[in-house]
Structure 1
């Protein structure tokens, strides 16, 4: 490594000496302190990794001379300190590494060249499902099912843990990856030992989950990338990026009584989404941070994908140190973090100088009010006092569309069982309610019924204040004799084992369990579509009445079809509000005006009667949460339970690809040579999928349950797998045959190539036959016809999912032409050899008169063109020509594209070394 700027020096902390790349020498010629915190971290990264090739003096100068308001144009290479994976996205990453070892051997090279060069942690947290709930043994039963369903995947991961160096696995039942990262894995200042010397530098990372940004709350710069990009980072490749614009978000004052961190993050998400921060860094500053606990910061940072930013970072300050101590980090580590942050100008003090930002937003924390977000997007915040009206408007629209209900009749359909003014659907079967029987009792299920109430997701289960608040609501409700309505599926899925420990110590776990919020698993559940099945009578009633029911969850995602296929409206809310809505049982209830239920004294009980004060919450936090609690729960974090220990492990450098429907050797490297073929132009392509705006990776990537009649279901049954053993798409991400069959198969996808349908349908244009997207793609492949996708704005928003790109490529799609792209998905498309093209400003498929039934030519791909000409020909011979912007944004991405993808590029580089 070179040191053009003379920044190598040492830092003494107590009795240990650390080698660092100091920013101090740069201050003689540059105003380094004007740079935002996040860019100082990037600056140090460039200085430390300067090699004259990937990182040069010009790159460092470009960052030093950063123009806050200029459009990003300068490419730099970011080298993260580590990589974090979760098992849904981590399994295919390890599958690809195993396949790359096979490919390396086929090229006549040493397979052991394929090995993580950066530290990698994989946390198994996405595989537990809420099959059992509301009972004391729910956790044990769900764990048994998890191991039964995922034995093949877990065997593979245990092989990977043995076969690959620098690779650790956190076993199932420990917690959610982001919360484990926050509470245990992150160091804030990273230390590497080389030949007896200690090197200290900012802890940075990339992760295969977009909510990797949660760690930004701890002052750690990191964000979500596709599995493809993460694999490259694991293999020592720097991540190419443009020096971003940085949006400053100033926080003033403090949260008022009654408002939670969840309400704050929904407010911040709405503001930033409205501002437009896609592809930008967001950095929080201001004296309001003096009153914002670390857990609240992590809650805000977690939802950076929802407000569209690459990251949402907070600086290091006294609160950072407080949390590091509380969560069990050593005194030595805490001292290093403080000393390093102060030495590098990364420390925040009250009244600190404001950095130079591209834009600045400001929020008075005192203005935050209780809120929800929904019914389909996390940025659609609704003040709690408007929630009922918002739902009623959504229901009215649904009924007009599905039931031809005259506008204005909605109030007549609603009446509460207890006679209160219009909070529920009328009991009459003719007006929508459906009678069902469960456990020997008959009930009426109505429009607006809350059928899922889940305290779930790292966003909020990492925050003791809101979880203790939920426990207090449960305790007060139990004391008054309230219970959730019988149609509500309740669950508590903590993000770490610390959560039930402090809830139990505070005397709040039993009240939660009494209300049905027993622990169902330690991992991502409802928020990622692992809500599990609804009780059969309730599921049947929803279908029989075509009812628009709801879920309320303390998660971060509520996109269509994500939570449960039968639940059309989904609302994000704080954990105490989740409990409240479970008690109320309906979104047609105004929690400010209508009672949650009737108490054991026969009197109505309102939200204000069970809502805790901030003083109550603070008292419980101080009395029941300790550093020792964290140290105890994380003492043997990599060991796993007896179930994990007894899984058989095969030790070998190459994986034995036994017959499995979970893990299968992918075809990416078949016939691969050392020299790549030129990508070439696209000719006579057909449109497989044509969609509008805001199509998410949840619409594209396989997720949730597998229907028996779907192509994936048919494939599994042909291999002897019964529907009850299907598990989820997420659990089968290591099998490309399943995943490509589930691409573009979301139950809520509306493909304009198959008008009048919902789900994974399209039209095979030459024959005019309607069929599944997969079947059509396979027929096109037999006919040697390349494919394209036509899309609107914000294509690919949502989670960073490699299969949204992998499945696209395996279906034979060569290009996606959209009005705009989400950052991660655009990068993933390039990383798997799919060409992202963007309509020129003001143009779209509609404005150009495209129907999707044309054939498409894309020419001029030689070199590195900024634009290409697309020619669309109708069957009647009419030609429509338009220019499209090539969204391959950096020279490094062009290299990946020419090689057919980032994995092929890395493999060839390592083979040639």
Structure 2
């Protein structure tokens, strides 16, 4: 793909660094034409550079550059601008369906008379296989080896498909299983801050930017690399050269002062930031951090904060490049050439931050004195629900009878574990997992966990026998410095053996609990607890038998494994009895900042990163020996496969799209409440035997033990559409008193699985509508939440508000996102689910227009209300008119052929 446009503003310049000459598009030079942009937020300067570099008078216009400069007038804008990222990052849960789509598009373009080679990534794509390893084995020396073996047994077909993609598509690299979590690999190895490409005989330097098919792509913003999570749908379009139109966002400045006090971790900081920003309301906005508190904040802490942007709702949480980031680039093995370029380029562009940098102009600001941060955890259901560590036990007891629904008379229920000499009760911790990209990228909190384990081990403490413990490092470098410092032995002794390198418990790959513990939980309806160092604790995500989930720092994960319960105040209760018969408390085993920094400084080196990433694409022997047919332009689909199937998106597609018409005679499939996450809509975890997806797999003679997870089967649309709205904790108001993916089929009034009802409506030719509340679609950038919705026959989703990525994904799949106006919602309208609906005005669709909802009630009355159509941009109008973004791109490629 050509990396530069026509440069109408004359901003092309050269930069000499280390004896090499680079072409770049100068922001200071643009000021004579567009106005002063010196105090534009750095994150918006990155968008401006993108416009200057690609300006062609058609898609990218000089007016787009002027609009970004004019943003400073009101620190806000209603203007949209195009954006092309430098590269794409994927993980395998989202990557497999994306590669499936690309393979299907090759078949589709053939049917339209085009060339399959046109369907090929035009920018670099890195897919890191990190989401498939599960904690089947834990607490033993051979846990890692066993889990790797099981991983390849389960996923050999998927991995073979990805190997095919690696050999068949250009610009497509696969980082094999067992390397690390995609965001940590991205932070430690792939990202360069300034990207370079050869273009018409010139070496062009430009900001390293990316889209990622995982919402926590934002982690790399800690390194001054602008990137955010998109659905696989948007990512596929971007990799095929399609610019994404976006409204110029509001930018919230977050000023930090002071520094963290003794005993407070980066996790405590990020939970505080998450709560503050979620309260502020930053959905769809950029957040940019500034202030003297950054002067000595480690890059790892910045990355921890940036990682959690989806939890505080922002598109990204950005930290401009400075000397701290340069030091991190050097530590992690970047070449001196690229380090020098990053510093010289950002200084030349006015993107560098230091103590003399004037504060940018922001839409709004908020401030945090780091010294005010206190030890915290978040739960039991949402990342933003922070509680002080000292209040955690009392807060849990309150939640137990409220949001967790335990009758007051049952709070004291205890259950004897068969064959064991202990009991469990509500609030006991059954999973303690050091997992997820958020914290396993941060050596300070991981070393702190190791020191807690060391001190506890020395005093004779052990984890409680009902707690499943695990450690899933984010990269092999973590094991290197834990081994070198001897902390691995201490963690192993407490049951925190390494179980795999990937996103395990946080994504729902927590593996099985002991049957006896599951029986006790289910028989007595106990609210069991997990404590994990992750970023997601939504209902039904971590484990189907664990209803209360708390996010905590890695050292607190170890401490809760020792205490074994949420019922006691961990800050004052004894964690256990030591060798000497004395009670041991948290303060006795908590490390000092000096101890942590000393071990990090002595045991983490540049050479570790260089060695571990020297052969990053090689993979374990199981990966190397996969047999794959290479070099074929189209994939040989296997109709008996239960992992990889040719999706039906392009069946019957013609060169010209059908005209958009109104939606009439629609039935309601589901009426849902607030904070419906993409986990609720499209779960990633285990597949129930009695579910439509389980029944489908049984038809293929797949035993339940081999069901794997929804996440692992995202390459099979038959499984995924059956799993849509199938989360075990989702509540459909159409079927009061139920939990799980069921609905009431009308007009018969029969309650049945949502998939079954959707298929009955499909047979009738009935379009479907889903109603929701506030923050519909929060959570992971999960394109299957939109794909599955579409495949069920849903034509529109009507809510009070949408989370950014899911709204975009719905449009990308040809599903209409609509929001209520004027304080109206499903309750004020009296929606029960037995209505028939018309949505009118679609034939003249334009961005953010009003449409009319006509409600035909069962009693024969009719109401009309105006709804806001959340097709936000002209490009999105085009995507919707074509039936989805992939259809639009495919037709454009076929025309070009």
Q: What TM-score, normalized by structure 2, do the two folds share?
A: 0.98
8 Å Cα contact 1:286-1:351 kept in structure 2:
no
In structure 2, the residue matched to 1:172 is 177
In structure 2, the residue matched to 1:555 is 534
Q: Does 1:811 align with 2:815?
A: no
- Pick the aligned partner of 1:566 from 545, 564, 568: 545
Q: Does 1:876 align with 2:863?
A: no
8 Å Cα contact 2:401-2:407 kept in structure 1:
no
- In structure 2, C-alpha distance between the alignment counterparts of 1:155 and 1:495, rounded to whole Å: 24
Deviations 1:322-354 (A, max 9, x none): 000000001111111111111111111114201
Q: Secondary structure at the match of 2:67?
A: helix
- In structure 2, C-alpha distance between the alignment counterparts of 1:700 and 1:818, rounded to whole Å: 14
Q: CA deviation at 1:679?
A: 2.4
Change (3 A) 1:151 1:682: same
- In structure 1, C-alpha distance between the alignment counterparts of 2:311 and 2:126, rounded to whole Å: 24
- In structure 2, C-alpha distance between the alignment counterparts of 1:628 and 1:368, rounded to whole Å: 34
Deviations 1:379-431 (A, max 9, x none): 011110110110110123368x444529xxx6xxxxxxxxxxxxxxxxxxxx4
Q: Does 1:783 align with 2:764?
A: yes
Deviations 1:491-542 (A, max 9, x none): 0000000001100101100000000000000000000100011111111111
Q: Secondary structure at the match of 1:33?
A: coil
Q: CA deviation at 1:225?
A: 0.3
- In structure 2, C-alpha distance between the alignment counterparts of 1:798 and 1:853, rounded to whole Å: 29
RMSD of aligned residue pairs (Cα, Å): 1.1
In structure 1, the residue matched to 2:887 is 904
Q: CA deviation at 1:722?
A: 0.8
Q: CA deviation at 1:841?
A: 2.6
Stretch of structure 1 that moved more, 17-26 or 882-891: 17-26
- In structure 2, C-alpha distance between the alignment counterparts of 1:68 and 1:141, rounded to whole Å: 60
- In structure 2, C-alpha distance between the alignment counterparts of 1:842 and 1:874, rounded to whole Å: 21
Q: Secondary structure at the match of 1:862?
A: helix
In structure 1, the residue matched to 2:447 is 468
- Pick the aligned partner of 1:138 from 143, 146, 154: 143
In structure 1, the residue matched to 2:869 is 886
In structure 2, the residue matched to 1:595 is 574
Deviations 1:124-164 (A, max 9, x none): 00000000000010000000000000011001000000000
Q: CA deviation at 1:641?
A: 1.3
Q: Secondary structure at the match of 2:668?
A: strand
Q: What TM-score, normalized by structure 1, do the two folds share?
A: 0.96
In structure 2, the residue matched to 1:831 is 812
- In structure 1, C-alpha distance between the alignment counterparts of 2:358 and 2:819, rounded to whole Å: 40
In structure 2, the residue matched to 1:671 is 652
Q: Does 1:206 align with 2:208?
A: no
Q: Does 1:234 align with 2:239?
A: yes
Q: Does 1:629 align with 2:612?
A: no
TM alignment of 1:423-442, pairs within 5 A:
431-438=412-419, 441-442=420-421
- In structure 1, C-alpha distance between the alignment counterparts of 2:368 and 2:808, rounded to whole Å: 32
Deviations 1:276-307 (A, max 9, x none): 00000000001110121000000000000000
- Pick the aligned partner of 1:653 from 626, 633, 636: 633
- Pick the aligned partner of 1:546 from 525, 530, 535: 525
8 Å Cα contact 1:657-1:664 kept in structure 2:
yes
Change (3 A) 1:691 1:68: farther
- Pick the aligned partner of 1:488 from 459, 467, 477: 467
8 Å Cα contact 2:11-2:52 kept in structure 1:
yes
8 Å Cα contact 2:453-2:558 kept in structure 1:
yes
Q: Does 1:303 align with 2:308?
A: yes
8 Å Cα contact 1:794-1:819 kept in structure 2:
yes
- Pick the aligned partner of 1:7 from 7, 11, 28: 11
8 Å Cα contact 1:68-1:357 kept in structure 2:
no
In structure 1, the residue matched to 2:560 is 581
Q: CA deviation at 1:196?
A: 4.5
In structure 2, the residue matched to 1:62 is 67
- In structure 1, C-alpha distance between the alignment counterparts of 2:551 and 2:687, rounded to whole Å: 25
8 Å Cα contact 2:485-2:603 kept in structure 1:
yes
- In structure 2, C-alpha distance between the alignment counterparts of 1:702 and 1:514, rounded to whole Å: 34
In structure 2, the residue matched to 1:270 is 275
Q: Does 1:532 align with 2:511?
A: yes
In structure 1, the residue matched to 2:422 is 443
- In structure 2, C-alpha distance between the alignment counterparts of 1:727 and 1:687, rounded to whole Å: 31
In structure 2, the residue matched to 1:336 is 341
- Pick the aligned partner of 1:697 from 678, 692, 703: 678
Aligned length: 887
In structure 2, the residue matched to 1:713 is 694
- In structure 2, C-alpha distance between the alignment counterparts of 1:779 and 1:809, rounded to whole Å: 15
Change (3 A) 1:536 1:524: same
Q: Does 1:821 align with 2:821?
A: no
Q: Secondary structure at the match of 2:38?
A: helix
- In structure 2, C-alpha distance between the alignment counterparts of 1:525 and 1:101, rounded to whole Å: 33
Q: Does 1:502 align with 2:485?
A: no
- In structure 2, C-alpha distance between the alignment counterparts of 1:791 and 1:590, rounded to whole Å: 37
Gaps of 5+ in 2: none
- Pick the aligned partner of 1:147 from 148, 152, 155: 152
In structure 2, the residue matched to 1:413 is none
8 Å Cα contact 2:401-2:408 kept in structure 1:
no
Deviations 1:238-293 (A, max 9, x none): 11100000000000011111000000000000000000000000000011101210
Q: Does 1:364 align with 2:369?
A: yes
Q: Secondary structure at the match of 2:114?
A: coil
Q: Secondary structure at the match of 2:545?
A: coil
- Pick the aligned partner of 1:477 from 456, 466, 485: 456
Q: Secondary structure at the match of 2:195?
A: strand
TM alignment of 1:216-255, pairs within 5 A:
216-255=221-260
Deviations 1:140-196 (A, max 9, x none): 000000000001100100000000000000000000000000000001000112355
Q: Does 1:184 align with 2:189?
A: yes
Stretch of structure 1 that moved more, 732-741 or 349-358: 349-358
- In structure 2, C-alpha distance between the alignment counterparts of 1:369 and 1:521, rounded to whole Å: 31
In structure 2, the residue matched to 1:422 is none
- In structure 2, C-alpha distance between the alignment counterparts of 1:846 and 1:754, rounded to whole Å: 15
TM alignment of 1:37-186, pairs within 5 A:
37-67=42-72, 69=74, 72-186=77-191
Deviations 1:39-60 (A, max 9, x none): 1111111100101111001111
- In structure 2, C-alpha distance between the alignment counterparts of 1:204 and 1:70, rounded to whole Å: 23
Q: Secondary structure at the match of 1:521?
A: coil
8 Å Cα contact 1:305-1:799 kept in structure 2:
yes
In structure 1, the residue matched to 2:397 is 392
In structure 1, the residue matched to 2:839 is 858
In structure 2, the residue matched to 1:19 is 23
- In structure 2, C-alpha distance between the alignment counterparts of 1:68 and 1:641, rounded to whole Å: 55
- In structure 2, C-alpha distance between the alignment counterparts of 1:738 and 1:480, rounded to whole Å: 50
Q: CA deviation at 1:33?
A: 1.0
Q: Does 1:759 align with 2:759?
A: no
- In structure 1, C-alpha distance between the alignment counterparts of 2:427 and 2:86, rounded to whole Å: 47
Q: Secondary structure at the match of 1:732?
A: coil
Q: Secondary structure at the match of 1:96?
A: helix
Q: Secondary structure at the match of 2:789?
A: helix
Gaps of 5+ in 1: 411-430
Q: Secondary structure at the match of 2:416?
A: strand
- In structure 2, C-alpha distance between the alignment counterparts of 1:487 and 1:163, rounded to whole Å: 48
Q: Does 1:771 align with 2:752?
A: yes
8 Å Cα contact 1:68-1:356 kept in structure 2:
no
8 Å Cα contact 1:69-1:245 kept in structure 2:
no
Stretch of structure 1 that moved more, 701-710 or 370-379: 701-710
- In structure 1, C-alpha distance between the alignment counterparts of 2:274 and 2:822, rounded to whole Å: 26
- In structure 2, C-alpha distance between the alignment counterparts of 1:586 and 1:343, rounded to whole Å: 54
- In structure 1, C-alpha distance between the alignment counterparts of 2:458 and 2:886, rounded to whole Å: 58
Moved over 3 A (4+): 67-72, 401-404
